[in-house]
Amino acid sequence: MAINYISTRGQAPNLDFEGVLLAGLASDGGLYVPEQLPRFSREQILAMRAMDYPTLAFEILQPFVEGSIEPDDLRRLIDEAYGSFRHAAIAPMYQLDNNQWVLELFHGPTLAFKDFALQLLGRLLDFVLERRQERVVIMGATSGDTGSAAIEGCRHCRYIDIFILHPHERVSEVQRRQMTTVLDANVHNLAVQGNFDDCQAMVKASFVGPDFLPEGRSLVAVNSINWARIMAQIVYYFYAALALGGPERPVNFSVPTGNFGDIFAGYLARCMGLPIDQLVIATNKNDVLHRLLASGEYARRSLEQSISPSMDITVSSNFERLMFDLYDRDGAAINKLMQDFDGGAIQLSDSAMARARDLFSSCCVSDQETLEEITRVWQQCGYLLDPHSAIGTLAARACQGNPAHPMVTLATAHPAKFPDAVAASGVGREPELPAHLADLFDRREEFTVLAKDLPTIQRHMVDAITT
Ligand SMILES: *Cc1c(COP(=O)(O)O)cnc(C)c1O
């Protein structure tokens, strides 16, 4: 039976998978979640052990898209999405010591885990758009990883124009070049003369403001509020746990966390029947979730720049999806809480907090500790971590409960994406870009510099749309 998707704030219309794929944010300001999750029995999970990554992905994702995408089409889209990865295992594991593992999620085209979701999302979108004979415009703001993964996911799409705004001269050169050297006609890089918040404000204003696109074109969001992104990330929790003896023994995960999308997928995997013991929220000094678990207060603080920039956030937008469950899926309660949160802080109920603490542990890691961890793991294990993943391995050791359960840290980015942090750690070794990006610094770039002015940006977009 096809899954119905409902909003966390209880007032938007229910949608099918195709609807949530195109919707992004719900019309009541909430986020879409499945009304019911598929559940796999122990026997079904045991049978998944023999599957390669694309077969497993098909098995797990099929119930979510039923009614919107035929099985054969889904299988083909999955094969194409993960066919772009540079490692035959798609998500290989590396053993750090007796029971500590790293799940390498950086073998996709842009060297970060976001490729897992965005390689599939671009193809799913293009598939349903072709069927509907519609074209859309994707608009997003990026401080780094999301933009390049979204661009790589959409560059071959025939029904999509993608516009990514980045703050001019304020993203790292590797990250900028990963976006601006993609020269496909439907890819548009806009360098905005402002900071990341300015870029985000332009995108937000375009989604909520008056329609500015030519008739028949709508705007689609590809940030992690899009349900399809979360869904795709469930798969690798199963993949890792099965490789380490699941479902016959529970496995722990430590997840470098920003917007709470990645670790929320781990929570869903557990709800779907996968034996997971601990889920560790690993944060940098932007520690809104760590403070929440400690105090019960969800409170926004100003942004602090860190050496793990992809986790520099003030609030974790996907946390609303968990709150919905913590409050027994009471949309009215979430609506009220999120409205109060506009003031900057809310207190969660004792029962919600008891549940949250039962589900998650957390650890906040400073820049200095991150650098020391990169060095320690290099010296003791001969393995080079990027700063985000290093936060994960440190948190894994700090929070590990039962040492008999394997602990898997999600390695969310390749170290060559963050060469400055690796150099600062003093390991005395430069991480090398993989072969497919080795000539990144010789490639031609294309981007347009624009003032941080909404009408200017929107006029440019309308003129640039390909037909
Ligand atoms: C996006 C990102 C994260 C954070 O993931 P969330 O789903 O936002 O919690 C962590 N590490 C890297 C390298 C990222 O790009």
Query: Of 122-126, 190-194, 199-203, 236-240, which range is least confident?
Result: 199-203
pLDDT per position as a tens digit, 267-313: 999 999 999 999 999 999 999 999 999 999 999 999 899 999 999 98
pLDDT for position 220: 92
Which atom of ligand 1 is the closest one to the Cα of 417?
13
The DSSP code sequence of 342-390 is TTTEEE--HHHHHHHHHHEEEEE--HHHHHHHHHHHHHHH--PPPHHHH
Residue 5 lies in a domain: no
Residues in the chain, overall count = 467
Token pair of 60, please?
Answer: 């797990």
What is the edge-to-edge ordering of all strands in the sheet holding 251-256?
93-95, 100-104, 407-411, 251-256, 276-283, 360-364
In three-state secondary structure terms, 431 is coil
pLDDT in tens, 229-243: 999 999 999 999 999
Is the beta carbon of 425 within 6 A of some atom in ligand 1? no
Tell how far the Cα of 134 is from the centroid of ligand 1, in angstroms: 31
Q: What is the pLDDT of residue 330?
A: 98
Separation of CA 388 and ligand 1 centre (Å): 8
CA distance 290 to 295: 9
pLDDT digits (tens, 9 = 90+) for 314-323: 899 999 999 9
Q: How confident is the model at residue 196 (pLDDT cuts 50, 70, 90)?
A: confident
Phi, psi of 332 (to 5 degrees): -65, -40
Mean pLDDT over 30-52 rounds to: 97
Number of domains in the chain: 1
Question: Is position 374 within any domain?
Answer: yes
Region 67-86 average pLDDT:
97
How many alpha carbons fall within 13 Å on the CB side of residue 413?
Answer: 28
The pLDDT tens digits of the residues spanning 349-395 come to: 999 999 999 999 999 999 999 999 999 999 999 999 999 999 999 99
For a mutational test of ligand 1's pocket, the pick from 227, 233, 237, 262, i.e. the residue with the most ligand atoms closer than 8 A to its C-beta, is 262
Interval between CA 216 and ligand 1 midpoint (Å): 33
Report if residue 49 sits inside a domain. Answer: no
> Taking the model in full, what pTM does it have?
0.97
User: H or E segment at 151?
Assistant: helix 145-154
**Ligand 1 in reach of 224 Cβ (< 6 A):** yes
CATH number for the domain spanning 375: value is 3.40.50.1100
Q: What is the pLDDT of residues 161-174, one digit of tens each?
A: 999 999 999 888 89
**For residue 391, is it within any domain?**
yes
Q: Report, as an integer, the average pLDDT of 222-230.
A: 90
Atom of ligand 1 nearest to the CA of 259: 8
Residues annotated as catalytic (active site), given as ranges: 114
Residue 139 has φ and ψ, to the nearest 5°, of -130, 130
Q: Say if residue 467's pLDDT is above 80.
A: no
Three-state secondary structure call for residue 441: helix
Residue 102: phi and psi, rounded to 5, are -120, 125
415 assigned to some structural domain? yes
**88's tokens:** 């035959």
Between CA 74 and CA 130 the distance in angstroms is 15
Query: Given this model, what pLDDT does residue 441 score?
Result: 95
| Confidence category of residue 224, pLDDT binned at 50, 70, 90 | confident
What CA–CA distance (Å, rounded) separates 88 from 54? 11
176 within some domain: no
In a domain, 265, yes or no: yes
* Percent composition of the chain: helix, strand, coil (DSSP 3-state, to 5): 45, 15, 40
CA 145 to centroid of ligand 1, rounded, Å: 8
Give the pLDDT score at 1. Answer: 80
Is residue 220 a part of any domain in this protein? Answer: no
Question: Which residue is listed with tokens 């797990």?
Answer: 60
Q: Which domain holds residue 241?
A: 90-108+228-425
- What pLDDT sits at residue 145? 83
Per-residue b/e over 427-445, b at no fewer than 16 CB within 10 Å?
A: beeebebeeebeeeeeeee
Is residue 144 over pLDDT 80?
no
